[in-house]
Structure 1
Amino acid sequence: MRSTDSPAASSLAALLAAAPHRPLFLAGALAVLTSMAWWALELASLRFGWSGWPQPPVPPGWAHAMLTQYGMLPMFMFGFLLTTFPRWLNRPSIRPRRSVTVAGAVFAGYLLSHVGLLGMPWVLRVGIALMLAGYLVGVATLAGVLHAAGQGNQHAWSCLAALGLGILGLGAFLGFLFGAPAASARFAVKLGTFGLLVPVYFSVAHRMVAFFSGNVVPGYVVRRPAWSLPLMWPLLLGHLVLDLAHAQAWLWTVDAPLALLFGWHALAWQPWKAMRPGLLAVLHLAFAWLPVAFVLYAMQSLCLFAGRGPVLGLAPLHVLTIGYFGSMLVAMVTRVTQGHSGRPLQMGAVPWACFALLQGVVLLRVWAELARDSYLWLVLATCGWLVAFLPWVLRSAWIYLTPRVDGRPG
């Protein structure tokens, strides 16, 4: 006898498959809470001495970095790129089966990995392997679009190269889980930041921020210089090599130029002309964290060069991850969600609240590096993330699970 839920389930499946961003943005939105809920509990167990809380089979900081950098944020990245690659390259839309497969594999692996963090190493291995399989499908799909287009689109190539490094990083961490040296895990963690996330985020911003501004602001000059990405890549790879070689005292040689590069773009994109509407303003405000992060990286390195030690701790990293990655996530995903659901291109109260609270979370996380009771402030910052994102996630999930308000397909 056929279940009465079948038509509803089929309708929901068809809705999620209607556009590549739907299943991947939904998975990413749920991951935003999952990652930080586990991390909040882990930090609280360390701060308050919860003896019953199961510890992960890998160092907690590595687990946190891997699952946020390779799981939480890339689900949004894949959702965006599987939607935009065909548009950038004038190719047909990607078949729904591909985007659903990527979402299913990466999200299922991500969830299994979190179960594995509760003291189950084999489950963690299976989870990371499944995430890697999802990456392989996603990258192969995007590479197929780029190959079929037969054109040299630098934004597409840059994003694809970064995702390829993401495959390398996941593979290295999986090797560590099966007995490779700890250097493999450290390599994966660093590569996730400077080989995967910064290149994808900046490549997309380079293409879209000035473009969106030019569509709204009268007389706006769109600046997307062709030299930006070719200059970014060797500097980021230089940072990666120096960091992995434990030459942090020399990072300023690449981080100062990166701060200048990103700072030039922040000013060249004329944010003072783009403070309305709010959906445009937050893109510029979020991007401003990127040069600030690399200024802090350069300052930290110069302090080490002068023999003063790492006075800023992990503050530069979290200005980059929470300030830039987190803020740009809210800004860009809210814009795509509004536009692709047939809603007005307006920020709205819930996204504004999320964005504003997130700026406070950045400051809390930086203060945690300087405060006497560091772990207490870490717990507060993580809980602040959950408070900031919960309404945004619920609103976003509702949109992804319901048809477009204008009745159009997608």
Structure 2
Amino acid sequence: MNSALPHGRPSPRLLGAAPHRLMFFVGASNLLLAMAWWAAWLVSARWPAVLQMHQPQPYAGWLHAFVMQYQMLPSFIFGFLLTTFPKWMGQPEFERWRYAPVGLGLLGGQLATLLGAVGWEAGLTVGLWMTLAGWVAGVATLAPLTWREAGTTWHARSCLAALVLGVLGLLAWLTAMLGASPMWVMASIKIGTFGLLLPVYFTVAHRMFPFFASRVVPGYATWRPFWLLAAMWPLVLAHLVLELFHAYGWLWLVDLPLLLLTATMLWRWWPRGDKPGLLTVLFIGMAWLPLAFALYTAQSVAYEATGVYWLGRGPAHALFIGFFGSVLVAMVTRVTQGHAGQELYMPAAAWFAFVAIQVVAATRVLAEALPDMMAWHAVAALGWLVAFLPWVVRLGRIYLSPRADGRPG
């Protein structure tokens, strides 16, 4: 299989040639920058004699969650949705002036935020407002398509609903930054997970995973009834509400059904027989979703019985790193290969990133039960950088280069 990069002289001007180029470049850059800061902060917290880091306000752990949930991953999400919304609804592709403000807002927002994290206090305010501006531009670009289309594309409406909740999460963060109770920070973080990211990932998986399998696996029976989406929304929102009210002992009431729902999807969707690596990684990544809800369920039952939060942030990181991270590698690689005019396969850098992120996810989950937990947190963060560096470098070259097949976009 030819793994050569696209030919042609790299140019930053090509980032504006398509939504995914700009937004994926922004997300890939922050994938490393944000985790480099977080890894350094964890090292400084565990080994202060080795490294001294600025202690930002708000607390670094909260800021880490904000950057990852509202800046890094949404850069990829907007890049995907700004590309696929017109295709899903049979409408013209977006012009550059429609998506450029989204990319510039998120790029400037996350750079300013990270500068704020290392000492430029005004950067946290500047970064928040730029991020909010990019989000508003993105939602305002996508939303009109849902009422201009002739029919009803439920996947688009589901993703749009999650993005609206994401805006509410950003406003909750803004409220906290203006001096309100830290509970608004916690609300923002929880909304980011269960109001924004999980519904978007679930919806895109429902739309795309069986479709991808049907294209390359002979005899594959596509199964994606809409009742799966209808069941997902009330369950994840119920989980969100229970977390907001700290009713951790009752989470199993919704997490057990989510475990059964996602396990059923994985079983029904998993392609039997030979399949290409680019498809295999999608379903291995998805396997982290029922695993995460199994951990959430066990933690909830144990908490109700003992009053001890045994697994800490382990279930959350099975979701964040295991599911979100693995599927990110699989989906971004597929979209990038296809839109770069290359064959649809897993290049070596993508395989390395995917396999390594499985190790990182397991390390971060197990860290909650290991001696010297903070040391293992730092190891996992450094592992993230090692896992993603070759992949990001390869992606950056592609986004800055002409398509391999000479076509525009």
TM-score, normalized by length of structure 2? 0.96
User: Is this contact kept in 1: 2:220–2:271, CA < 8 A?
Assistant: no
Letter in 1 for 2:57: P
1:348 shift after superposition: 1.5
User: Is this contact kept in 2: 1:262–1:290, CA < 8 A?
Assistant: yes
Letter in 2 for 1:352: W
Equivalent position of 2:329 in the other structure: 330
Equivalent position of 2:4 in the other structure: none
Equivalent position of 1:168 in the other structure: 168
Letter in 2 for 1:331: A
User: Is this contact kept in 1: 2:165–2:195, CA < 8 A?
Assistant: yes
Equivalent position of 1:350 in the other structure: 349
Equivalent position of 2:18 in the other structure: 19
Equivalent position of 1:117 in the other structure: 117
Cα distance in 1 between the residues matched to 2:16 and 2:307: 54
> In the TM superposition, what whole-angstrom CA distance separates every residue of 1:45-104 from its partner, at most 9, and x where no partner exists?
100115742111111111010100111101000000000000000000011112211001
- Please say which of residues 47-56 and 95-104 is displaced more in the overlay: 47-56
Structure 1 stretches of 4+ with a deviation exceeding 4 A read: none
User: Is this contact kept in 2: 1:21–1:83, CA < 8 A?
Assistant: yes
> In the TM superposition, what whole-angstrom CA distance separates every residue of 1:131-168 from its partner, at most 9, and x where no partner exists?
01100000010002222214321100010000111111
Summarize the alignment of residues 200-279 of structure 1 with structure 2, pairs less than 5 Å apart. 200-273=200-273, 276-279=275-278
Cα distance in 1 between the residues matched to 2:140 and 2:334: 27
1:270 shift after superposition: 2.5
Cα distance in 2 between the residues matched to 1:73 and 1:177: 21
Cα distance in 1 between the residues matched to 2:277 and 2:392: 19
1:271 shift after superposition: 3.5
Equivalent position of 1:359 in the other structure: 358
1:272 shift after superposition: 3.2
Cα distance in 2 between the residues matched to 1:390 and 1:324: 19
> In the TM superposition, what whole-angstrom CA distance separates every residue of 1:6-39 from its partner, at most 9, and x where no partner exists?
xx99x94542121110000001111110111010
Cα distance in 2 between the residues matched to 1:360 and 1:400: 28
Equivalent position of 2:339 in the other structure: 340
TM-score, normalized by length of structure 1? 0.95
1:125 shift after superposition: 1.3
Equivalent position of 1:139 in the other structure: 139
Cα distance in 2 between the residues matched to 1:96 and 1:392: 26
1:307 shift after superposition: 1.7
1:360 shift after superposition: 0.5
Cα distance in 2 between the residues matched to 1:276 and 1:400: 27
Unaligned residue ranges in structure 1 (runs of 5+): 1-7
Cα distance in 1 between the residues matched to 2:232 and 2:134: 27
Summarize the alignment of residues 2-81 of structure 1 with structure 2, pairs less than 5 Å apart. 12=11, 14-50=13-49, 52-81=52-81
1:366 shift after superposition: 1.5
User: Is this contact kept in 2: 1:201–1:325, CA < 8 A?
Assistant: yes
1:121 shift after superposition: 3.5
Report SS of the residue matched to 2:275: coil
User: Is this contact kept in 2: 1:252–1:297, CA < 8 A?
Assistant: yes
Equivalent position of 2:5 in the other structure: none
> In the TM superposition, what whole-angstrom CA distance separates every residue of 1:366-397 from its partner, at most 9, and x where no partner exists?
22111111111111111111000000000000
Cα distance in 1 between the residues matched to 2:23 and 2:310: 39
Letter in 2 for 1:208: M
Cα distance in 2 between the residues matched to 1:230 and 1:155: 11
Among all aligned residue pairs of Structure 1 and Structure 2, give the percentage whose two residues are the same amino acid: 50
> In the TM superposition, what whole-angstrom CA distance separates every residue of 1:343-374 from its partner, at most 9, and x where no partner exists?
11010211001100110101111221111111
User: Is this contact kept in 2: 1:56–1:116, CA < 8 A?
Assistant: yes
1:308 shift after superposition: 5.0
1:122 shift after superposition: 2.7
Report SS of the residue matched to 2:404: coil
User: Is this contact kept in 2: 1:57–1:119, CA < 8 A?
Assistant: no
Letter in 2 for 1:85: F
Letter in 1 for 2:347: G
Letter in 1 for 2:39: A
User: Is this contact kept in 1: 2:217–2:271, CA < 8 A?
Assistant: no
1:123 shift after superposition: 1.8
User: Is this contact kept in 1: 2:285–2:322, CA < 8 A?
Assistant: yes
Equivalent position of 2:156 in the other structure: 156
Cα distance in 1 between the residues matched to 2:37 and 2:211: 37
Letter in 1 for 2:301: L
Cα distance in 2 between the residues matched to 1:211 and 1:12: 34
Equivalent position of 1:185 in the other structure: 185
Alpha-carbon distance change, 180 to 120 in structure 1, aligned in 2, over 3 angstroms: farther
Summarize the alignment of residues 294-309 of structure 1 with structure 2, pairs less than 5 Å apart. 294-309=293-308
User: Is this contact kept in 2: 1:56–1:120, CA < 8 A?
Assistant: no
Equivalent position of 1:4 in the other structure: none
User: Is this contact kept in 1: 2:155–2:204, CA < 8 A?
Assistant: yes
Cα distance in 1 between the residues matched to 2:251 and 2:379: 30
Summarize the alignment of residues 358-377 of structure 1 with structure 2, pairs less than 5 Å apart. 358-377=357-376
Higher-RCO chain (CA-CA 8 Å, sequence separation at least 6): 2
Equivalent position of 1:388 in the other structure: 387
Aligned-residue CA RMSD (Å): 1.5
- Please say which of residues 56-65 and 79-88 is displaced more in the overlay: 56-65
Report SS of the residue matched to 2:272: helix
Report SS of the residue matched to 2:17: coil
User: Is this contact kept in 2: 1:62–1:185, CA < 8 A?
Assistant: yes
User: Is this contact kept in 2: 1:256–1:294, CA < 8 A?
Assistant: yes
Equivalent position of 2:280 in the other structure: 281
How many residues align? The count is: 401
Unaligned residue ranges in structure 2 (runs of 5+): 1-7
